Copies of this chain bind each other. A is one copy, B any other.
Amino acid sequence: MSPSSDYPSIPVSPRHLTGDGPGLREFVDKYSSSIAMVGVLWSGDHLFPGTVETLDLLRGKGKRVVFVTNNSTKSRADYTKKLESLGIPATPEEIFSSSYSSSIYISRILNLPPQKRKVFVIGESGIEQELQSESIPFIGGTDPSYRRDIKPEDYKAIAAGDSSLLDPEVGVVLVGLDFHFNYLKLALAYHYIQRGAVFLATNIDSTLPNSGALFPGAGTMSAPLIMMLGKDPVALGKPSQAMMDAIEGKFQFDRKRACMVGDRANTDIRFGLEGQLGGTLAVLTGVSTKEDILGGPVRPSAYLDRLSDLLGLRQEAEAGH
Q: Which residues of A contact B (CB under 8 A)?
A: 44, 149-150, 155-156, 158-160, 178-183, 186-187, 190-191, 194, 206-207, 210-217, 219-221, 223-224, 226-228
- CB pair A190–B216 under 8 Å, yes or no, is yes
Known A-B contacts A155-B211, A159-B210, A212-B159; A149 and B179 likewise in contact (beta carbons under 8 Å) = yes
- CB pair A213–B155 under 8 Å, yes or no, is yes
- CB pair B155–A186 under 8 Å, yes or no, is no
Q: List 9 A-B contacts (CB under 8 A).
A: A150-B179, A156-B211, A181-B182, A190-B215, A190-B216, A191-B213, A194-B214, A217-B228, A220-B224
Bound-state Cα–Cα, A134 to B69, Å: 48
- CB pair A216–B223 under 8 Å, yes or no, is no
Shortest Cβ gap from A185 to chain B (Å): 10
- CB pair B228–A220 under 8 Å, yes or no, is yes
Residues on B with C-beta less than 8 A from A180 are 149, 182-183
- CB pair B44–A186 under 8 Å, yes or no, is no
Which chain B residue lies CB-closest to A207? Answer: B228
Residues on B with C-beta less than 8 A from A215 are 155, 158, 187, 190
Most-contacted residue by chain B among A150, A181, A210, A228 (CB, 10 A): A228
Known A-B contacts A149-B179, A181-B182, A186-B220; A228 and B211 likewise in contact (beta carbons under 8 Å) = no
